[in-house]
A and B are shown apart, each in its own frame.
Chain A
Amino acid sequence: DAKTTQPPSMDCAEGRAANLPCNHSTISGNEYVYWYRQIHSQGPQYIIHGLKNNETNEMASLIITEDRKSSTLILPHATLRDTAVYYCIVRVAGNQFYFGTGTSLTVIP
Chain B
Amino acid sequence: SAVISQKPSRDICQRGTSLTIQCQVDSQVTMMFWYRQQPGQSLTLIATANQGSEATYESGFVIDKFPISRPNLTFSTLTVSNMSPEDSSIYLCSVLLAGGSNEQFFGPGTRLTVL
B contacts with A: majority SS: strand
- When chains A and B are docked, how far (Å) is the Cα of A12 from the Cα of B37? 26
Instruction: Indicate if B43 sits at the interface (CB-CB under 8 A).
Output: yes
Instruction: Indicate if B44 sits at the interface (CB-CB under 8 A).
Output: yes
- When chains A and B are docked, how far (Å) is the Cα of A99 from the Cα of B94? 13
Given known contacts A99-B42, A99-B44, A102-B42, A43 and B108 CB-to-CB distance under 8 angstroms: yes
- When chains A and B are docked, how far (Å) is the Cα of A91 from the Cα of B4? 21
Instruction: Indicate if B102 sits at the interface (CB-CB under 8 A).
Output: yes
- When chains A and B are docked, how far (Å) is the Cα of A45 from the Cα of B43? 13
> B residues within 8 A CB of A98?
45
Establish whether residues A44 and B43, one from each chain, have CB atoms under 8 Å apart when the complex forms.
yes
Contact of B90 among A41, A45, A46, A100 (CB under 8 A): A41
Instruction: Indicate if A101 sits at the interface (CB-CB under 8 A).
Output: yes
Instruction: Indicate if B103 sits at the interface (CB-CB under 8 A).
Output: yes
Count residues of chain B with CB under 8 A from any CB of chain A.
23
> B residues within 8 A CB of A97?
33, 43, 45, 94, 104
Establish whether residues B42 and A101, one from each chain, have CB atoms under 8 Å apart when the complex forms.
yes
Instruction: Indicate if A49 sits at the interface (CB-CB under 8 A).
Output: yes
> A residues within 8 A CB of B104?
34, 46, 95, 97
Residue numbers of B with Cβ under 8 A of A are 4, 31, 33, 35, 37, 42-45, 48, 90, 92, 94, 96, 102-109, 111
In the complex, 30 of the A-B residue pairs with CB atoms within 8 angstroms, ordered by the A residue number, are A32-B102, A36-B106, A41-B37, A41-B90, A41-B111, A42-B108, A43-B92, A43-B94, A43-B107, A43-B108, A43-B109, A46-B103, A46-B104, A46-B105, A49-B103, A87-B43, A91-B102, A94-B48, A95-B31, A95-B96, A96-B33, A96-B45, A97-B43, A97-B45, A97-B94, A97-B104, A99-B42, A100-B42, A101-B42, A102-B42
